[in-house]
Amino acid sequence: MANIALQMYSLREMAAEDFVGTLKKVSEIGYHGVEFAGYGGLGARELRKILFDLQLQPVSSHVPFDQLENQVEEVLEYATELGLSYIVCPFIAPELRRNMQDYQRLAEKLEQIAQKVSQEGLHFAYHNHDFEFIKIENEQPIHVLLGKGHSSLIQAELDIYWIAYTGENIASYLHNYTGRADLLHVKDMSKEDKRKNEVVGSGRLDIPAILHAAQTAGVKWYIVEQETYQGHPMRDLKSNFIYLSQLLSAPSQ
């Protein structure tokens, strides 16, 4: 059975009002796990018990770069007590990535963070947007940030929406990072406006082909993220879960 999680940023407004109640609704849909973007002000032990009771696995967490750089010990202490498997760097601020030299310095810092994360028995990943695919000095920064070669400790949390947004081939990047792409952000693109999301399977992206490439690449967790909605968020997220569950359980997949 494929593992399907939800990035909690998808329900950021609901979670801000009732974090635990929102987790309960995610569990009721059937999601197997969650990826965090904040912990609702809860302690790690308390949150771990809540997730256990809801039968939700704490898969991963998006942690701001400045916290990873300056407070990684505290980040890891919380993460290990919660039971996370992955720590993810979700974004790099523009002022830190002005040129290729900046990206090379960032890559060194990310590798250092990855080593510390690995020492605690967790995995470290970098989540892409679109800017990492814009060439600088004839090279895409994404490859610099992720480290060249399979020796890098940095996993690629590839976001299929943002790769498609840049016009790049998603399957190609999954192939390039085979064995280093445990986490995949599954997010579809609206047919009317590429800046907006759509329920998975009803937008522009060829989701069946992408999932086939993902399975070949060794993806372990399919993480739904939807930032904009045409309908009610919970209804859309339920549709996303049902669609992915059916597709990933089909014999051809």
> Does the pLDDT of residue 80 top 60, yes or no?
yes
According to DSSP, the residues that pair with 87 across neighbouring strands are 61, 124
Q: Where are the alpha helices (H) located in 30-157, listed in sequence order?
A: 44-54, 65-70, 72-82, 100-119, 141-146
Given 3-state DSSP classes, what are the helix, strand and coil percentages for the chain, each rounded to the nearest 5? 50, 15, 35
pLDDT at res. 243: 98
CA distances from 52 to 27, 45, 46, 82, 225 (A): 11, 11, 10, 10, 22
Q: Which pLDDT does position 149 carry in this prediction?
A: 62
pLDDT tens per residue, range 25-60: 999 999 999 999 999 999 999 999 999 999 999 999
Helix (H, G, I), strand (E, B) or coil at 202: coil
Per-residue pLDDT tens digits for 57-71: 999 999 999 999 999
Label residue 1 by pLDDT band (50, 70, 90): low
- Beta strand ranges found along the chain (DSSP E): 3-7, 33-36, 57-62, 86-89, 123-127, 154-159, 183-186, 188-189, 197-198, 221-224
Confidence of residue 150 (pLDDT cuts 50, 70, 90): low
What pLDDT is recorded for position 62? 99
Q: At the topology level of CATH, where does 3-249 sit? A: TIM Barrel (3.20.20)
What are the tens digits of pLDDT across the range 187-239? 999 999 999 999 999 999 999 999 999 999 999 999 999 999 988 999 999 99
**In angstroms, rounded to a whole number, what is the distance separating the alpha carbons of residues 155 and 182?**
7
- Nearest CA to 127 out of 160, 170, 165, 171 is that of 160
Share of the chain above pLDDT 70, in %: 97
**In the structure encoding, which two tokens stand for residue 98, read together?**
């002005």
Mean pLDDT over residues 112-130, rounded? 98
